[in-house]
A and B are shown apart, each in its own frame.
Chain A
Amino acid sequence: MDAFLLQILNGLDKGSAYALIALGLTLIFGTLGVVNFAHGALFMIGAFCTVVLNSLFTLTKVTISATEKTPWGTPLEIHTPYVQLWFGDIGATMIDYSVFWSLLFAIPVMLIVGVAMERGLIKHFYKRPHADQILVTFGLAIVLQEIIKQIFGANPIPQPAPDAFVGSIDIGAMLGMAQNTVIYPIWRLIYFLFSAIVIGGVFAFLQYTTFGMVVRAGMADRETVGLLGINIDRRFTAMFGLAAVVTGLAGAMYTPILSPNYHMGMDFLVLCFVVVVVGGMGSLTGAVAAGFLLGILESFASMPAVKEFLLGFSIDQVIIYLVAVIILLVRPRGLMGRKGVMET
């Protein structure tokens, strides 16, 4: 039982990331009908927003100490971050919580990137065949990835979680089980809660606002909504921006779990495509459900018991693809796919 719970929890953080990215992909897909191969790059840009903000916050002023000396006899250099210099203790807390600050930073950045991408490039590809859309976003993904590589280098850049959230908590003890059976890192729990809030927010936005209602109507029948005199294109552009923000935030919050590197986007993108296909193209709930499902499945597949059962082959790397194949053979539209979406 406790091992079972532990695997579910382990799957949740990855599942949250999959669900968020897949949600963004599906938003773009459902509204604009474009498969965005550069979506992984958005995830990566979000993660690098954290890197940028963290390095901005930790820009240090170097002063040479008058009295103290290093063990080698040279004057001791004291590094004080400017933020701390200006704001005192508040500055120190700011640095500590830079991941959360980076969320505020990432929202406008991702919005601008998303809207620029849609208006500047993807807009011109609505009338072109799907193959062209895939190809041009694929090229864009390569370019964005290489730009990040040029600026930040090829090595992963570790990002700290806030001190208060470093370490693990004993969830098993909280739920009345034996001590030290289900221990779980706090930040992953935070990530799960965060993704739940974001997903809930997106759904509430689509469900309960007039804007969301119009967008849903446009997803169902774009032409009719256009004929009613509503500028649906502008709203869809806004949805592209929203999708970029969701994905960027997913990346920004993921940095303490996975150190940002330039190829993280593509690594996640391939899996998230599978998630979207399993969930059913164009279905938002399907994308989220499949994201969590596959994340948890992946963590179950990495259990030692499973490995023993399969004579020493560890299938956690391929289980997602295997499941996707089986689901597509049994239910070609995915778990919750609607009829008529991307059938050609």
Chain B
Amino acid sequence: MLKTLRTNDTALMILFSLIVLAGPLILAPFGAGYPDLMQRFAIYGIFAIGFNILFGLTGYLSFGHAAFLGVGSYSAVWMLKLLSINIVPAIIFAVVVSGLFALLIGYISLRRSGIYFSILTLAFAQMSFNLAYSVLTPITNGENGLQVELDDPRILDSATGPGQLPVPSLFGMDMSSTSVVHFLGMDLQFNVGFYVSALILIAVFYLSLRIFRSPFGMILRAIKSNQTRLNYTGFNSRPYTLTAFVISGMYAGLAGALLVCMDPLAGPERMQWTASGEVVLMTILGGAGTLVGPVLGAGMIKYFENIFSRMNDVMVHDWFSALPGWLNDVLTNVISPFLGSGWQMSLGLIFMLVVIFLPGGLVEGANRIMNRVQRPSKSGPVSGPVDRTTTANSKES
């Protein structure tokens, strides 16, 4: 049993790495194969994996995770400004700072659980947003956002050419440099920034896999299933929840730092409650508590954000041009509010539908379909328990 699990994990890891690394090839046919979007897929994937370690395993629903993303972004920009344009110190510093910040917030918020916890984290995130927006303007540059500028000190490498804004780089490789390969009639764009994010994504995915399989992960799951009982057995669960909170805060900080490395600008809106809500959406949509679910959800949401928000009613009109005029107008009027700037509404609707009908997210949906295919008719009581174990196993992946 254990052995099969381990080989399954190896297979999963290899498959995941292959899919991520082949990103430009896979995404190009969907019109999503350009660097900016692919970078966001990977970065928000990291963010969602981190959120899932907290929410998926312990069941603590944090509504303020964007605060850590924002803190990571700000500290990374400061590192790029003060020390070096190389992204390594920026990322390390951002992870450390956001970890400390998560330790502080987690220490206070985790005194309560359930709804109190959600509200407290939401309040903290909103407080951080307000701090960044107005109170701490000297550090965060307020509404305008913090960015890399020409006259930054940059102790290690201030010798960039005059009048040229430096681009964040990894030991000389610019994050924005892209090589285009023509392949099967498509332009595949291999971007340095994407591959940096993708390698980090694979690394943190492996880390989360290990956490899921470790005794520590077991305890976190025990907290989710029945914390009271765990406490009655003489187990102090708070250090474990706090550790999970800090880990997921560090993941968020890492994602924030990577966002800054791709585009050196950090603004307060990154910390607003909508941003916190977005990562919740990603995790739920993909499937909370599963390994690949969050990455899947992050990809879906970023993809649809990109596709939906670019559509407009003229395009909708074209889709139905074969239909009679009045029907076309009606359909256009019905559909167009959900597209373009209204894509948030479709997002909200999809989210509600997923929570209502498919609480396990896309992964559970896929499992259900697989079960339906494998076992068309509900035959015999023998398949019952067997089926349960297979779903339990496949839910892990």
Contacts and interface: CB of A to CB of B under 8 A. Distances in A.
Verify that A and B bind, or say they do not. yes
A55 interface: no
B166 interface: no
A150 B118 CA distance: 29
Interface string B63-98: 100000000000000000000000000000000000
Sorting the interface of chain A by its residue count into under 10, 10 to 19, 20 to 34 or 35 or more gives 35 or more
Interface in A94-150: 124, 128-132, 134-136, 138-143, 146-147, 149-150
Nearest to A142: B348
A113 B162 CA distance: 62
B48 to A, nearest CB: 15
Contact of B356 (A136, A138, A150, A314): A136
Contacts of B119: 35, 273-274, 276-277
Contacts of A128: 359
A344 B344 contact: no
A197 to B, nearest CB: 29
B277 A344 contact: no
A328 B134 contact: no
A277 B113 CA distance: 13
Given A130-B115, A146-B344, A273-B122, A135 B355 contact: yes
Sorting the interface of chain B by its residue count into under 10, 10 to 19, 20 to 34 or 35 or more gives 35 or more
Given A142-B347, A273-B123, A318-B130, 5 more contacts: A35-B118, A138-B277, A139-B349, A142-B351, A146-B342
A219 B127 CA distance: 32
A59 to B, nearest CB: 23
Contacts of B63: 134
B197 interface: no
Contacts of A343: 114
B308 interface: no
Contacts of B124: 321
A342 B342 contact: no
Nearest to B280: A135
A314 B133 CA distance: 12
Given A135-B280, A266-B273, A321 B344 contact: no
A142 B122 contact: no
Nearest to A324: B123
13 contacts: A130-B114, A135-B61, A135-B280, A138-B280, A138-B351, A139-B348, A142-B345, A143-B349, A317-B130, A321-B127, A332-B112, A342-B114, A344-B228
B134 A139 contact: no
B255 interface: no
A329 interface: yes
Contact of B115 (A35, A328, A329): A35
B111 interface: yes
B113 A135 contact: no
A325 interface: yes
A146 to B, nearest CB: 4
Contacts of B53: none
B291 interface: no
A320 to B, nearest CB: 8
A325 B59 CA distance: 22
Given A318-B135, A332-B111, A140 B348 contact: yes
B352 interface: yes
B356 to A, nearest CB: 6
- The main secondary structure of chain A at its interface with chain B is helix
A141 B352 CA distance: 10
Contact of B345 (A130, A147, A281, A324): A147
Nearest to A310: B135
A72 interface: no
Interface of A: 35, 124, 128-132, 134-136, 138-143, 146-147, 149-150, 266, 270, 273-274, 276-277, 281, 313-315, 317-318, 321-322, 324-325, 328-329, 332, 342-344
A140 B352 contact: yes
Shortest 3 CB-CB distances between A and B: which pairs? Answer: A142-B348, A146-B345, A139-B352
Contact of B351 (A139, A277, A281): A139
B116 A277 contact: yes
Contacts of B356: 124, 136
A132 B55 CA distance: 12
B118 A134 contact: yes
B131 interface: yes
Given A132-B355, A344-B228, A142 B344 contact: yes
Contacts of B116: 277, 281, 342
Contacts of A141: 348
A147 B122 CA distance: 24
Interface in B106-162: 108, 111-116, 118-120, 122-124, 126-127, 130-131, 133-135
B29 interface: no
Nearest to A143: B348
A315 B355 contact: no
A328 B108 contact: yes
Contacts of B347: 142
A274 B123 contact: yes
A141 B118 CA distance: 16
A315 B348 CA distance: 33
B271 interface: no
A225 B261 CA distance: 60
Nearest to A326: B108
Interface in B24-42: none
B114 A321 contact: no
A342 B113 CA distance: 9
A325 B348 contact: no
Contacts of B134: 314, 317
Interface in B42-56: 55
B127 A318 contact: yes
A124 B356 CA distance: 9
Contacts of A142: 277, 344-345, 347-348, 351
A329 B348 CA distance: 34
B337 interface: yes
A147 B352 CA distance: 15
Contacts of A150: 337, 342, 345
